[in-house]
Amino acid sequence: MARIVMFWLLQFVWMLSLCCSAFNSQDYTDALAKSILFFEGQRSGKLPSNQRLAWRGDSALSDGTPEHVDLVGGYYDAGDNVKFGLPMAFTTTMLAWSVIEFGSAMQGEIQNARAAIRWSTDYLLKAATATPGTLYVQVGDPNVDHKCWERPEDMDTARNVYKVSTKNPGSDVAAEMSAALAAGSIAFKDSDPSYSSKLLQTAMKVFDFADKYRGSYSDSLGSVVCPFYCSYSGYHDELLWGASWLHKASQNHSYLAYIQSNGHTLGADDDDFSFSWDDKRVGTKILLSKVFLAPKNILQNITSFHLINMFYLNFLQNFLDTNAEQFQLYKIHSDNFICSLIPGSSGLQAQYTAGGLLYKATESNLQYVTSTAFLLLTYAKYLKSDTGNVHCGTSTFTRDNLISLAKKQVDYVLGENPNKMSYMVGFGKRYPEHVHHRGSSLPSKRAHADPIACNDGFRFLYSGLPNPNILVGAILGGPDNRDSFADDRNNYQQSEPATYINAPFVGALAFFAGAPATPISH
């Protein structure tokens, strides 16, 4: 009886959160624009004439020189000046996925979103094609970089170049790069078909490299990628993730066959409850669940509208008969992930703060919040034409419940929290002012033309003054498990932004920016 009462109480809370939100579509549209603008603050290389964050300048214009290749461009991952390949590729995949699923709701921001993707895919193309049998995966030694506090425009540390090869493989980073290029090809399919084709062809080659020469990049590059971006989950998840994106991008059945043949050994049977730059298992299950749901939905629509083309109908029915068991597995695991998140579910594993924030880690917790919100909304979209339900033991949750939970997380980030603080810089009336970010915390070149040397910048790190340059749209690591947040530049666990925190949030914000103003019915 107590469980039933709790279930209906949670239903009421969800409904209340929808009808009484502190934010409207204009707020979400504003946040969406800012979340994309943030990526301009992370740009490396020669900045374009339409650069909007004017306090940033050109930087790292000689990247790749030690290897006699052009590796100029791409993104700095967070508050430092290193270009890490694994999180950059994941960021790119998530930006592209945001456009693929919710681009139609981005309206005037779609061009900026594509520009953010392209800044990275242009770089990844160079990294993947500069030298045969080699993939460039990092520029800059973090152990040296982290000993300095200097603007990217002033960098005087060595820009070492790191790569994986046939002899020193990196299936994790290579397969993620393949996923990024494949997802990017879908994002540009209509707007730039030629570029889209180039991305897809390169993605296929990079995936072949990742699959043929198997190994983790942490094994050969551990001294410079660990503990920063070690491949803790191994490379199996990236191989399945990469193949899934190539199937979606190419519709080549060889990738479907690869998934069917290799899925069980690459993690298809595993339940997992977090999604990040390191672990792609949950994201892959959500992505592949559509392979099961889409033909089923089309079949239902054809039958319900009596638009029966017998050849097409037989083809779809045969697809379902042949692939149902394999791909229903991904639907089941996706449901299990959802059940692990929803309060009141018998499968609940997630922890929430008293203020309602999903909490998984002491460091950069909001990366899990933004990625989870994106997956909730994407899965809700996939369920739209199906039954729309997720079964968790004896409880049933609708797609609207998923949307409600995602909305609560999005709204928390934007300021509907115990601190009444937005964790997106530049959004709302109150937001963090002491961001752990070199370029933002140091005077810009326009304000201070002379170089600021490696050690001279630390006085700005330790200063109690607000950052002189506003890194608009940056989402920081976020509060602790008690909803407490120290607006302290030295507390990087809470105050450092990262591209992979923002990327999935772009899609989540686009969803709510395009959502109807009226409450969702239950």
- The residues annotated with a catalytic role in the active site are 436, 487, 496
**Whole-angstrom distance, CA of residue 111 vs CA of residue 522:** 35
Q: For 387-415, give the secondary structure using H, E and C.
A: CCEEEECCEEEEHHHHHHHHHHHHHHHHC
**Whole-angstrom distance, CA of residue 9 vs CA of residue 320:** 38
Q: DSSP secondary structure string, 466-488?
A: PPSS--TT-B-S---TTS-----
**Whole-angstrom distance, CA of residue 412 vs CA of residue 359:** 12
Write the CA distances from 85 to 69, 121, 202, integer angstroms. Answer: 16, 11, 16
Structure tokens at 125: 């193309």
**Whole-angstrom distance, CA of residue 396 vs CA of residue 104:** 30
Q: Is-contact 262 284, C-beta < 8 A?
A: no
CA Rg, the chain, in Å?
Answer: 23
Residue-wise burial string across 287-311, b where 16 or more C-beta atoms lie within 10 A, e elsewhere: bbbbbbbbbbbebeeeeeeeeeeee
Q: Is-contact 286 374, C-beta < 8 A?
A: no
**C-alpha dihedral over 35, 38, 39, 43, to 10 degrees?**
180
Q: For 177-198, give the secondary structure using H, E and C.
A: HHHHHHHHHHHCCCCCHHHHHH
Kindly state the DSSP code that residue 467 receives in the 8-state scheme: P
Triad 36, 409, 290: Cα angle to 5°: 75
Q: Give the H or E element holding residue 210.
A: helix 193-212
- Chain Cα centroid distance, residue 341: 18
Residue type, 277: W
Q: Is-contact 207 135, C-beta < 8 A?
A: no
Structure tokens at 119: 């800044």
Q: Which residue has the tokens 């200097």?
A: 150
